[in-house]
Structure 1
Amino acid sequence: MNWLDLLVFFVYLGGITLFGASFFKQNKSSEAYTVGRHKFPAWAVTMSIFATFVSSISYLALPGNAYQTNWNAFVFSLSLPIAAFIAVKYFVPLYRKVNSPSAYTFLEERFGVWARVYVSACYLLTQVMRVGTILYLLAITINAITGWSIPVVILITGITVLIYSIMGGIQAVIWTDAIQGIVLIGGAVVCTVYLLYLIPGGMETVMDVGTREGKFSLGSFGLQLDESTFWVVLVYGIFINLQNYGIDQNYVQRYIASSSDEEAGKSALWGGLLYIPVSLLFMFLGTLLFVYYQSGGELAPDLQSLDEADKVFPYFIVNELPVGITGLLVASIFAAGMSTVSTSFNSGATVIYTDYYLRFFNKRNGADRSMRVLYLASGIIGILGVLVGLAMINVKSALDVWWKLASVFSGGMLGLFLLGAFTQRAERKGALIGVLAGIAIIIWLSVIPYIMGTSDDAALHSYLTIVIATAVIFLVGFVISSIIGKNSKAHLQ
């Protein structure tokens, strides 16, 4: 990289870290650290929700996926309007009424402490995997630019984000997210315009080559359940996004941090919908990269393998962009990753503090000890995330790995939430039996095939794990609760 690129990048990295850390003096209580005293404006929360959606998983893996195959991954985004509408109508009012920093207080009120522990544990596992995936993708970028060791970059990046997220709390997370959301959109737009300028024939060539090679395809519309067809990805997206909006601490914490019910609803709606055009832009970038290298741009030998698709966009940024713009794009990728990682650190710490420390160890909530617990919890999430990032080195496609892991580690917890939120008949025993049935399904669909080495021959695509598990938990819990309820009434008579 040119010295100007390095200057742009390090000025951004240092500036965002100092800005986030500047909120340290405003975070002397657990309430300030976790919900910011409910004083955030709607636009800031909107950008924060959006930036949480757009991690480096999106910024690097979506273009890589589109370059490698087609626009099948964009189908995931098409499910967002459904989830956003349900969230605004049902989820946001529910959590605003409960008014707890944790998304899982509601489940304890509904089904008992076991439900709170089960779902919060699933959430923490998912976040650790998410942090690791994002740190890995960021490390790919820096490795492509400087040749620095990927493990070293993962360590340095994790520590840097941890510093300002610990010092600044939720205020640092939301306000830096707002800035980073603007930066990452700007970087993607600049790169798109420049690629169109480089490609001979511009948009006409893009349409011709893209159409001929099937790059704009949304995937097969067949009904196969063992492939990532349009319908499999759409159904997967609906369930994952319902989980995001309904039971993901990253989002629920922002509902509570908003200044009013109306502002929370607006933020939930627009924060999600904004991701649709931006993810489309990322897919278009992947297609532009494919057309560019097919129509005269030279592709480095190590990027000819499909296994290296996640590295295509970083390679273009480093080798093809003008001086100064490269630094901006690298900063954009870091903005995407840092916003999501800092969110996971803060939200994970909030869950550990609220659902475990306060619930089981110190219900009196001593202020001094509370802050120490929050700092320690953030550090634990950070360390585990770094370890996962190190373990993900040399994976074929980070996007595929992340989606599969999210499906498994989510544990079908959405089913338990839907059972509690939309049925009055559900009882504790019925819900517990439903969860046990859901866990059994997850083990059957995901763990056993992996152990037996038959994953490639599975009858169902791994994306469907969360769909099946959620349905089983909901249906089994509802049926068993109905039977228990009828037996109880008969016994009383």
Structure 2
Amino acid sequence: MHFLDFLVLFGTLGFIVGYGVWKTKGNRNIEGYLLGDKSMKWGTIGLSVMATQASAITFISTPGQGYESGMGFVQNYFGLPIALIIVAFVFIPLYYKLNVYTAYEFLEKRFDQKTRLLGAFLFMVQRGLAAGITIYAPAIILSTILVWDLSWTILLVGILVIIYTVSGGTKAVSLTQKYQMAVILIGMVMAFFYILDYLSPFVSFTGALEIAGRLNKLNAVDFSLNFETRYTVWSGVLGGLFLALSYFGTDQSQVQRYLGGKNTTESKMGLMFNAILKIPMQFFILLTGVLIYVFYVFYQPPVHFNNASLETVKGAGKTIELNQIKSDHDDLIEKRKQSALDYRDALKKGDGNIQQVGDELIENAAAVDSKRDEMKTLISSVDGAIKTKDSDYVFLTFILNYLPHGLIGLLIAVIFSAAMSSTSSEINALASTTVVDFYKNIINTKASDKNYLNASKWLTVLWGGLAIAFAFMAHLSENLIEMVNILGSIFYGNILGIFLVAFFVKHVKGNAVFIAAIVSQITIFLLFLFTDIGYLWFNVIGCVMTILLSMLLQSMLKKQ
């Protein structure tokens, strides 16, 4: 990176942190610290909700997902708008009516203390681990690409987040997220248009889409009913609905964003903002990844995007094998490029051999993929512990090699900003849950408001430190954006089931739902470990099982 890139990077991060500390200094009570004095308007809420969900993993991993698998991942979000409407008109009015700090307070009012603590505990386990992944995911990739020390990269993100979150609480998180989202959106749009500019000597935008479509990168919907297919319309609408309903309705990192609204109208409008824009945003990011794939049809791509893995192969004395695969790969890239140009020309002329030329393009693209797989096999033979999936490195490789200085710094700032926005929301919510549901509820029930405020700040530091520690211990095996959703899906369906019973199944009491939730959670763990069911279905299974089992147990307990 150039000096200008470092100037833009640290200038952007410094402004965001400094602004957050300055604008929110002087919180003197627990309501101001945890709920921002309930003063936030819908625009701030909407951007804060979006920034909380759109972590650095979104902007590193999603383009790589588009590059590798096409647009199908967008189906993951098909249930989200429906979920946000339900949360806005069912959950929000109830939370405001009960005047709660956390979603889990409601569970004690409806059931009992142990059910409240169970819901809070499940949230803390899932979100605590996710906070570590949120820091580790961008850190491991940035450290590899930029040749930075991993430890310092993790510490940079973690410490910056702790500074302004401890200083200003929820309001600091929400205010800084506005500017973080602005940086993120500007950076992504600029990268998108640079890709189009690079492609313009070869194909137009529509021509690039034609090539991507021929190579099966634009298949955004799959109506198959195979439960082992990871992304389909049905898993997105049903599984995605349950995942989003639990995330936005019961996850304190999101609930805390809209509980800080001036009133229910502002909070509802903030969620509707996300209901309208979330799918288009994810579609745009995936499309950016697809266009990077087309870009590398015309420009020379590396045989493997994680250069550190290639260096390991060299260090193991496999240079001859490495160079042979590279040479074969380069030859195949030229063939793929020529077949893409032939396909472009055939489309322009309307030739009758479009089908034949298109088939040649598919055949040559498959040969390139096969050679990349051969490289992954070589990497695994050298060190089986190395993760050969390199899609998370695709977007950053493009940024560093093809964008101008200054913009590189801005896009690296995008990734750091996204990491900071998600992590700040998570540790803020974890501290709130710990203070309200455990410390204030069972440890120190009669302390002063100042005592609870100080406890909130110290617990924010503690959870920030634990998130950094989890980041150091993290070991990723999946595509990062998928891993976060997998982790959520293991817990969210169960938590959502508890809340839906609380809202709608009035005759079920605390003991029944408590036992049902524990049995359901164990079942989901077993399904995750021993079956190939697509993870989005865990949200449906966990939720439905908790509801039905709690009703069955309640009827049995009533008879006894």
TM-score under structure 2 length normalisation: 0.81
Task: Identify the residue that residue 43 of structure 1 maps to in structure 2.
Answer: 43
- What is the match of residue 248 of structure 2? 245
Partner of residue 420, structure 1: 502
Question: CA separation in 1, counterparts of 2:461 and 2:491?
Answer: 21
The amino acid across from 2:547 in the alignment is F
**In the alignment, which residue of structure 1 is the partner of 2:526?**
444
In structure 2, do the counterparts of structure 1 residues 300 and 446 end up closer, same or farther at CA, with 3 Å as the change threshold? closer
The answer (yes or no) to whether the contact 1:219–1:228 under 8 Å persists in 2 is no
Once residues 293 and 49 of structure 2 are traced to their aligned partners in structure 1, the CA distance between those partners, rounded to angstroms, is: 30
Aligned: 1:216 with 2:289? no
CA-to-aligned-CA distance 1:353-380 (integer Å, 9 cap, x gap)? 0000100122223233223311221122
User: 1:144 deviation in Å?
Assistant: 4.6
Deviation, structure 1 residue 282: 0.7
Q: Match of 2:261, as an amino acid?
A: S
Q: CA separation of 1:240/1:396 partners in 2, compared to 1, >3 Å: closer, same or farther?
A: closer
Residue 460 (structure 1) aligns with: 533
1:390 to 436, 460, 472: 472
Counterpart residue identity of residue 262, structure 1: T
Cα displacement (A) at 1:84: 1.2
CA deviation map 1:227-258 (0-9, x unaligned): 20302344321111000121111222223211
2:458 maps to which of 367, 373, 376: 376
- Post-superposition shift, 1:23? 4.1
Partner of 1:491 in structure 2? Answer: none
Q: 1:381 to 1:121 in 2, by over 3 A?
A: same
| Cα distance in 2 between the residues matched to 1:197 and 1:307 | 28
TM-score computed with the length of structure 1 as normaliser: 0.92
What's the counterpart of residue 329 of structure 2? Answer: none
Which residue of 1 is the match for residue 419 of structure 2? 337
**Residue 554 of structure 2 corresponds to which residue in structure 1?**
481
Is the 1:35–1:257 Cα contact (8 Å) retained in structure 2? yes
CA contact (8 A) 2:79 2:236 kept: no
Aligned to 2:34: 34
What is aligned with 1:292?
295
Give the partner amino acid of 1:404.
Answer: I
Runs of 5+ consecutive residues of structure 2 not aligned to the other structure: 307-371, 377-387
CA distance in 2, matches of 1:290, 1:107: 48
Aligned pair count reads 478
Larger displacement relative to structure 2 (385-394 or 154-163) = 385-394
Q: Secondary structure at the match of 1:190?
A: helix
Deviates more, 1:405-414 or 1:67-76: 405-414
CA distance in 2, matches of 1:184, 1:443: 35
Secondary structure of the corresponding residue to residue 25 of structure 2: helix
| Larger-Rg structure | 2
Structure 2 residue identity aligned to 1:240 = L
Partner deviation per Cα, 1:378-433 (whole Å, 9 max, x = no partner): 12222222233223345341122222222224471110001111122222232123
2:122 corresponds to: 122
Distance 1:324 1:336 in 2: 18
Tell me, in whole angstroms, the C-alpha distance in 2 between the residues paired with 1:395 and 1:386: 19
Q: Which amino acid aligns with 1:338?
A: M
Equivalent residue for 1:405, pick from 487, 503, 513: 487
| 1:24 Cα offset (Å) | 5.2
The residue that corresponds to 1:266 in the other structure is 269
Does 1:359 find its partner at 2:441?
A: yes
CA deviation vs aligned residue, 1:147-204 (integer Å, no higher than 9, x gap): 0122331122111111111111111101001111121111111111110111121313
Deviates more, 1:354-363 or 1:233-242: 233-242
Q: How far, CA to CA, are the matches of 1:140 and 1:310 in structure 2?
A: 10
Q: What do you get for the CA RMSD once the two structures are aligned?
A: 1.9
* Residue type at the aligned position of 2:47: M
Partner of 2:323: none
Are the counterparts in 2 of residues 215 and 287 from structure 1 also a CA contact under 8 Å? yes
- SS of equivalent residue, structure 2 residue 390: helix
Equivalent-residue separation in structure 1 for 2:163 and 2:180 (angstroms): 17
Identity of aligned residues (%): 27
In the alignment, the residues of structure 1 paired with residue 525 and residue 243 of structure 2 have an alpha-carbon distance, to the nearest angstrom, of: 19
Superimposed CA distance per residue, residues 1-23 of structure 1 (whole angstroms, 9 cap, x where no aligned partner): 11111111110111111111224
Match of 1:84 in 2: 84
1:275 aligns with 2:348: no
Q: Give unpaired runs (5+ residues) of structure 1.
A: 450-457, 489-493
Q: Distance in 2 between matches of 1:36 and 1:201?
A: 50
Looking at structure 2, the residues matched to 133 and 234 of structure 1 have their Cα atoms a distance apart, in angstroms, of 26
**1:139–1:150 contact (8 Å) kept in structure 2:** yes
**Compared CA separation, residues 101 and 13, structure 1 to 2 (3 A):** same
CA distance in 2, matches of 1:463, 1:155: 32
Q: What amino acid is the match of 1:193?
A: F
Query: Is the CA contact (8 Å cut-off) linking 1:184 and 1:336 kept in structure 2?
Result: yes
Counterpart contact for 2:135–2:468, Cα < 8 Å: yes
